[in-house]
């Protein structure tokens, strides 16, 4: 208030009131600071620590898949995945745009995705990158981090793809041995508690919560030297004959180990985007009627049941006969044939007459013992048991055609296993995709006989004639070695009958015949050019692979004189 010509009036009370309020506020701040620093110190420190402490995963290696000598078929290599905290990176869109450009990602799509996941603290931008690429993208950008992972790599690529299979992006087995031995191969990541700074960098290790455990390695029975040879030879044959597909299985006749297993067409397991038809291991999943390749077992069943011996004669005249109104025919009239002649000429009439002379139950028991109608026993995804009806369902025509390989179906692995019985002196052969120990090999040598050893020996001798100059499989011969085997050429079955122009070409054989060490079966599906008979299409593949395998395995020739003569002739020709 002022009066005219009066001095201003000073209200001391208001001044002191304001001063008192300020002092009160200062006292409150001091008290609060003291309370937080003294009373709440440990609590606040713990809360701050909790906002920086993280439990992170310690990655571990998945077990390797190796060949029998330790060469890698599947290994895990370190990679980095790029991840972000959406709340952090969305505050710096210019940096995010640069990161998406380096990672070859769509910037608008990435922003939209991160906004949808804004409530999360961890979102992958891109996984399993080469460490240098990942580091270049994330370096110096707040809210963008790296996580170490392991990527599955397959050094042999398509050469062994159907056997090994592949994993998904999370390193879990999806096909092949990767799936079969998932529990054995898988790694168990560890966990550790750390302190991270605001950039996500680990600044202090606090404790190990759980130790990591790497997966265990798997040693397969495969010999990659032989696998490469078989793959190359099969691929060349499928291309030359314009075939739809093909498979090769090579076994150790003594141990039952699978030394090579290849298929065409193949795929690269390092590129996971392949069709289901490409992924399947045809050697184990696909079945077919084997045709004449079954004839040695028809003869073996007859001999074991005491109905025939080596001197027995079969009259195949006039080259055909009727069964239930249907003709069984040979390509010509072979007249009278001994058992070796039935195989050498591949007589359907002879094989049918022999099959029909055996009691149904006896033939069924023998074929079942040889493994027909049962899986090969390698515990592989999709492994087929084939098709072999009980004898109570057979008609006379079924029994007749079964003698030369129609009316039953099997995989090429089942066929190789059956020939392994002959090579193993009639003993049951337990085949394996894993490398066997010495005691397991010895078990094969004392396994039960499903065929008399004398019968097995006789069948080997007769099959040698098939590969001789008068047989159907001269192209399967190996210089310097005695080889025994049998061709098969069968029409492909369709609903209601058989296709006239589509064939399966088969050859299965044993080498050396004097002391069997290797068994191999070849199947070429629908050869469309340059022949279709098993002796012309499949037998040369057998010869090429076995020739190289005998040399690589250092198996001595059982006919050195013949080998020298062949080499001398070859030298003169040069």
Label residue 1 by pLDDT band (50, 70, 90): very low
The pLDDT score that the predictor gives to residue 133 is 84
Mean pLDDT, range 525-546, rounded to an integer: 96
pLDDT over threshold 90, residue 471: yes
What does residue 397 show for φ and ψ, rounded to 5 degrees? Answer: -65, -35
- Quick one: 224-268+283-573 is in which CATH superfamily? DD-peptidase/beta-lactamase superfamily (3.40.710.10)
DSSP 47-68: HHHHTTEEEEEE--PPPPEE-T
The pLDDT score that the predictor gives to residue 57 is 67
The pLDDT score that the predictor gives to residue 235 is 97
Reported as a single tens digit per residue, the pLDDT across 108-128 is 898 888 888 888 878 888 888
Reported as a single tens digit per residue, the pLDDT across 387-435 is 999 999 999 999 999 999 999 999 999 999 999 999 999 999 999 999 9
DSSP letter at 7?
P
- Average pLDDT score, the chain: 87
- Residue with more model confidence, 21 or 226: 226
The pLDDT score that the predictor gives to residue 564 is 66
Go through 95-106 and write b for each residue having 16 or more CB atoms within 10 A of its CB, e for each that does not: bbeebbebbebe
The CATH class of 55-219 is alpha beta
The pLDDT score that the predictor gives to residue 50 is 47
Q: Write out the H or E segment, with its range, that includes residue 207.
A: strand 202-210
Nearest residue to 247 via CA among 525, 478, 550:
525
pLDDT over threshold 60, residue 193: yes
Could you confirm whether 292 is annotated as catalytic?
yes
pTM strictly above 0.75: yes
Nearest residue to 290 via CA among 546, 508, 460, 458:
508
Catalytic residue among 233, 292, 346, 366: 292
The pLDDT score that the predictor gives to residue 231 is 98
- Residue with more model confidence, 9 or 300: 300
Reported as a single tens digit per residue, the pLDDT across 450-467 is 999 999 999 999 999 999
The pLDDT score that the predictor gives to residue 20 is 80
The pLDDT score that the predictor gives to residue 318 is 95
Q: Check if the beta carbon of residue 173 is closer than 8 Å to that of residue 185.
A: yes
Give the residue extent of every domain in the chain. Answer: 55-219, 224-268+283-573
Mean pLDDT, range 245-267, rounded to an integer: 96
The pLDDT score that the predictor gives to residue 203 is 60
Label residue 82 by pLDDT band (50, 70, 90): confident
Nearest residue to 522 via CA among 342, 291, 343, 268:
291
Reported as a single tens digit per residue, the pLDDT across 32-58 is 777 667 766 666 555 554 456 666 666
pLDDT over threshold 90, residue 159: yes
Reported as a single tens digit per residue, the pLDDT across 338-373 is 999 999 999 999 999 999 999 999 999 999 999 999
pLDDT over threshold 90, residue 558: no
The pLDDT score that the predictor gives to residue 121 is 78
Mean pLDDT, range 444-448, rounded to an integer: 71
The least confident of 242-246, 451-455, 528-532, 565-569 is 565-569
Mean pLDDT, range 209-225, rounded to an integer: 88
The pLDDT score that the predictor gives to residue 202 is 61
pLDDT over threshold 70, residue 194: no
3-class state of residue 74 by DSSP: strand
């Amino acid at each position: 208030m002022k009066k005219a010509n009066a001095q201003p009036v000073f209200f001391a009370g208001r001044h002191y009131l304001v001063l008192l309020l300020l002092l009160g506020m200062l006292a409150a701040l001091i008290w609060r600071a003291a309370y937080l620093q003294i009373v709440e110190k440990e609590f606040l420190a713990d809360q701050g620590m909790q906002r920086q402490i993280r439990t992170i995963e310690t990655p571990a290696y998945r077990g390797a898949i190796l060949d029998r000598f330790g060469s890698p078929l599947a290994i895990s290599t370190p990679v980095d995945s790029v991840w972000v905290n959406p709340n952090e990176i969305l505050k710096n869109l210019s940096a995010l745009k640069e990161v998406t450009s380096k990672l070859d990602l769509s910037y608008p799509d990435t922003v939209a995705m991160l906004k949808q996941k804004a409530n999360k603290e961890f979102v992958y931008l891109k996984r399993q990158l080469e460490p240098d690429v990942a580091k270049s993208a994330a370096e110096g950008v707040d809210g963008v981090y790296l996580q170490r992972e392991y990527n599955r790599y397959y050094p042999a690529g398509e050469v062994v793809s159907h056997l090994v299979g592949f994993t998904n992006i999370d390193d879990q087995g999806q096909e092949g041995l990767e799936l079969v031995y998932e529990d054995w191969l898988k790694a168990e990541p560890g966990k550790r508690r750390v302190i991270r700074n605001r950039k996500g960098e680990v600044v202090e290790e606090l404790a190990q919560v759980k130790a990591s455990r790497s997966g265990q390695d798997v040693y397969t029975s495969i010999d990659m030297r032989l696998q490469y040879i078989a793959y190359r030879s099969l691929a060349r044959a499928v291309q030359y004959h314009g075939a739809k597909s093909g498979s090769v299985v090579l076994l150790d006749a003594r141990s039952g180990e699978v030394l090579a297993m290849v298929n065409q067409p193949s795929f690269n397991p390092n590129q996971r985007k392949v069709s289901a038809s490409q992924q399947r291991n045809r050697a184990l999943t696909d079945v077919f009627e084997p045709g004449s390749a079954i004839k040695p077992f028809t003869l073996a069943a007859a001999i074991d049941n005491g109905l025939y011996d080596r001197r027995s004669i079969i009259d195949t005249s006039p080259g055909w006969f009727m069964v239930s109104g249907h003709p069984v025919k040979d390509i010509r009239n072979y007249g009278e044939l001994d058992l070796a002649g039935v195989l050498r000429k591949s007589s359907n009439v002879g094989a049918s007459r022999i099959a029909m002379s055996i009691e149904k139950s006896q033939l069924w028991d023998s074929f079942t013992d040889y493994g027909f109608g049962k899986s090969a026993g390698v515990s592989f995804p999709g492994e087929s048991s084939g098709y072999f009806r009980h004898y109570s369902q057979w008609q006379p025509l079924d029994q007749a055609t079964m003698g030369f390989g129609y009316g039953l179906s099997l995989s090429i692995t089942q066929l190789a296993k059956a020939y392994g019985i002959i090579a193993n002196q009639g003993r049951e052969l337990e085949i394996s995709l894993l490398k066997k120990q010495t005691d397991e090999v010895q078990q094969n040598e004392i396994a039960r006989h499903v065929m008399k050893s004398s019968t097995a020996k006789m069948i080997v001798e007769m099959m040698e004639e098939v590969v001789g100059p008068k047989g159907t499989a001269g192209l399967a011969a190996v210089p310097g070695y005695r080889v025994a085997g049998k061709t098969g050429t069968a029409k492909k079955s369709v609903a209601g009958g058989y296709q006239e122009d589509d064939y399966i070409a088969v050859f299965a054989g044993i080498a050396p015949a004097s002391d069997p060490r290797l068994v191999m079966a070849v199947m070429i599906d629908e050869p469309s050019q340059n022949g279709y008979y098993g002796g012309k299409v499949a037998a040369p593949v057998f010869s090429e692979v076995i020739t190289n395998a005998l040399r690589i395995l250092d198996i001595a020739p059982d006919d050195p004189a013949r080998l020298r003569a062949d080499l001398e002739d070859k030298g003169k020709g040069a």
